[in-house]
Amino acid sequence: MAGEDRVLAGGAKYIDFQTDPSRYRHWKLGVDGDVATLTMDVDENGGLFEGYQLKLNSYDLGVDIELADAVQRLRFEYPDVKVVVLRSAKNRVFCAGANIRMLAGSTHAHKVNFCKFTNETRNGLEDSSENSGQRFITVVNGTAAGGGYELALATDHIILADDGAAAVALPEVPLLAVLPGTGGLTRVVDKRKVRRDHADYFCTIEEGIKGKRAVQWRLVDEIAPNSRLEARIAERTKEFAAASKRSGSGTGIALTPLDRSIGENSIRYGFVSVDIDRAERIATISIRAPETPPPADIDGLIARGASFWPLQVARELDDAILHLRINELEIAMLVFKSHGDRADVVAHDAFLDTHKAHWLVNEIRQYWKRVLKRIDVTSRTLVALVEPGSCFVGTLAELVFAADRSYMLIGQKQGDNRPPPTIELTAMNFGPYPMSHGLTRLQSRFQADPSDLERAQARIGEAIDAEQAEQLGLLTFALDDIDWDDEVRVFLEERTSFSPDGLTGMEANLRFVGPETMESKIFSRLTAWQNWIFQRPNAVGENGALRRYGSGERPLFDMTRV
């Protein structure tokens, strides 16, 4: 099942983010022509941990892992699908939100990582709608509370059953002393444009809002009596499919299982490897260049399927980041390295640029964008080391620009006959991979003087050495062989000695300079507000709301405003 406990070589358990529809316990995926239906039917005994039951379609991380997998497969495996309907298999309940017993019993780190992954999954629905043309409709047949309503908020259109019972609610503040942690507050006012005073009332009542008021306040798009509900769904799916820009047809490509082995101190994939030094609290992620040129045409790409280098590397890197986030909580730093023939990386980037109008190439580009965004919001120090043999070109160079600190060797190391490292820019560095605030990493880097961006863009296709890269602002420091080992060692030792809390706050502040979008607001508020509130005794203390929920005892609050 999704998210099930697996065992490392040393006996420790880990949560697995890999799954497929044959292993789903909580969702059913059905496809009929250009319409797919994702039916939520949570197995209440299928939680990741003991101590809670997932009643009323409440969810934990395992439920969301399956949803994320289903949304990803719809994009790659079903090019004909233009509309996705989300609905519940349970009578008179859509989704009760994140399971409260799970939240009460989880560590703080797990709660925050759970909220982060759930946010990314919700953002994935919106990204699919905007960039793949797969539109989403939610059918709320009963209670949609907390995270259940937040799931509906991430879709394009909400149909609420008008039966006197079905309602939408964000009751976290009055019930649990926490916030809707998966973008609920932000989407209500920023996406659905609900008036602030209406939103204030809505978010401070337990029972939620139903019927005509829910439509009038923009909390849902329409209501329909049960006798007309199925007909209304059919009308809307037909309407949305006709307006979709989805251009795929025929069969997609199967997202086959990753070839992966996980040991005590390593993870090995086809092109990505992770080496974990727990004593130093560092994970080194190395990416290998392709060994073959890209296919000649789209037919060749489809023939390669999930083994097409850019797609395989994106999937492997994504899985590695998620594994490190949730299973290696004491790792302080991710160090990115690369090796292989730069020319083959350039050729694959050129293929992605030349065929960008094709639906499958578009999906691969969009997936790389999402993987890089996931790295951006990962609460680890990000470091890139550009050494002889590196292939930080185009798409892979984005890892250098995403890093909090980047170092590049000038020339060669003594005794190393590999050529000096270079960085090469491609078209992929200037638009396809925006961060969550809408700017590319280079735009964000060069906000002080936009002409710096133009100078960098003028160097597309050139092999840029360390001193030139430093002058162009593409990295933090260029170091010669004499200083390299000591400078890098001192930095790594110093960085891992700092408070993780201080670093998380500092890095989250510094990575997203410039404008804000709804997406960037969601993550910044998760980092600051929800992270803080989840540690306060009013929520998680012995007498806090999460602990006392359902006990019949009222929580005891420290009434000091902080």
Residues ≥6 apart with Cβ < 8 Å to 102: 47, 48, 49, 51, 52, 58, 60
What's the pLDDT score for residue 8? 54
Give dist(CA 113, CA 95) in Å, integer: 21
Two tokens, residue 318: 């994504």
Average pLDDT score over residue span 350-369:
97
Give dist(CA 415, CA 456) in Å, integer: 32
Which 3 state secondary structure label does DSSP give 95? strand
Average pLDDT, the chain: 95
In 3D space, the residue among 381, 436, 361 whose CA is nearest the CA of residue 126 turns out to be: 436
What's the pLDDT score for residue 11? 53
DSSP 188: I
- Would strands 27-32 and 35-40 be described as parallel, antiparallel, or unpaired? antiparallel
Two tokens, residue 363: 């999906």
In 3D space, the residue among 213, 228, 217 whose CA is nearest the CA of residue 189 turns out to be: 217
342 versus 250: which is more confidently predicted?
A: 342
What's the pLDDT score for residue 54? 98
Q: Give me the helices (H) in 417-549, please.
A: 441-445, 450-457, 466-472, 481-497, 500-511, 518-525, 531-533, 537-540, 545-548
Average pLDDT score over residue span 353-380:
97
Residue 7 has pLDDT above 70, yes or no: no
Residue 293 has pLDDT above 70, yes or no: yes
pLDDT single digits (tens) 228-261: 999 999 999 999 999 999 988 888 999 999 999 9
* Residues 53, 329, 498, 469, CA torsion sign: negative
Beta strands in 153-210 (DSSP E): 157-161, 167-169
pTM of the predicted protein model: 0.96
Largest Cα separation within the chain, whole Å, is 79
Two tokens, residue 93: 């309940």
What's the pLDDT score for residue 250? 81
Give the C-alpha distances (Å, rounded to integers) separating 87 from 66, 229, 240: 15, 12, 17
Average pLDDT score over residue span 479-505:
95
As beta bridge partners, residue 144 has 95, 168
Average pLDDT score over residue span 306-333:
97
Beta strands in 238-369 (DSSP E): 261-262, 266-268, 272-277, 282-288, 333-339
As beta bridge partners, residue 337 has 286
In 3D space, the residue among 116, 209, 104 whose CA is nearest the CA of residue 160 turns out to be: 209
Q: Are 338 and 390 in contact (CB under 8 A)?
A: yes
Question: Which of the four pLDDT bands, split at 50, 70 and 90, describes residue 9?
Answer: very low
Q: Are 505 and 532 in contact (CB under 8 A)?
A: no
Q: What is the phi/psi pair of residue 36, to 5°?
A: -110, 150
Question: Which of the four pLDDT bands, split at 50, 70 and 90, describes residue 415?
Answer: confident
Question: Which of the four pLDDT bands, split at 50, 70 and 90, describes residue 359?
Answer: very high
In 3D space, the residue among 117, 278, 89 whose CA is nearest the CA of residue 182 turns out to be: 117
Percent residues over pLDDT 70 in the chain: 98
pLDDT single digits (tens) 16-55: 999 999 999 999 999 999 999 999 999 999 999 999 999 9
Q: Are 210 and 165 in contact (CB under 8 A)?
A: yes
Q: Are 100 and 176 in contact (CB under 8 A)?
A: yes
Q: Any idea which residue has 């280079």 for tokens? A: 442
Q: Any idea which residue has 């360390």 for tokens? A: 466
Element at 83 (helix H, strand E)? strand 83-88
What's the pLDDT score for residue 220? 98
Q: Are 314 and 367 in contact (CB under 8 A)?
A: yes
Give dist(CA 107, CA 534) in Å, integer: 10
Expressed in angstroms, the distance from the first to the final Cα of the chain is 42
What's the pLDDT score for residue 181? 80
Q: What domains, with CATH codes, occur in the chain?
A: 26-243 (3.90.226.10), 261-507 (3.90.226.10)
Element at 144 (helix H, strand E)? strand 143-145
Residue 2 has pLDDT above 60, yes or no: no
Q: Are 372 and 309 in contact (CB under 8 A)?
A: no
Give the C-alpha distances (Å, rounded to integers) separating 190 from 154, 170, 198: 12, 16, 13
Average pLDDT score over residue span 481-496:
96
Q: Torsion angle of alpha carbons 362, 363, 368, 370, nearest 10°? A: 120
Q: Give me the helices (H) in 161-221, please.
A: 172-176, 184-186, 196-202, 211-216
Average pLDDT score over residue span 393-416:
96
Give dist(CA 155, CA 118) in Å, integer: 14
Q: What is the phi/psi pair of residue 119, to 5°?
A: -60, -45
Residue 340 has pLDDT above 90, yes or no: yes
- Would strands 5-7 and 13-15 be described as parallel, antiparallel, or unpaired? antiparallel
Residue 12 has pLDDT above 60, yes or no: no
Give dist(CA 285, CA 293) in Å, integer: 23
Using a 10 angstrom Cβ sphere, with 0-12 exposed, 13-18 middle and 19 or more buried, the burial of residue 192 is middle
DSSP 22: G
* Residues 126, 130, 135, 139, CA torsion sign: positive
What's the pLDDT score for residue 539? 92
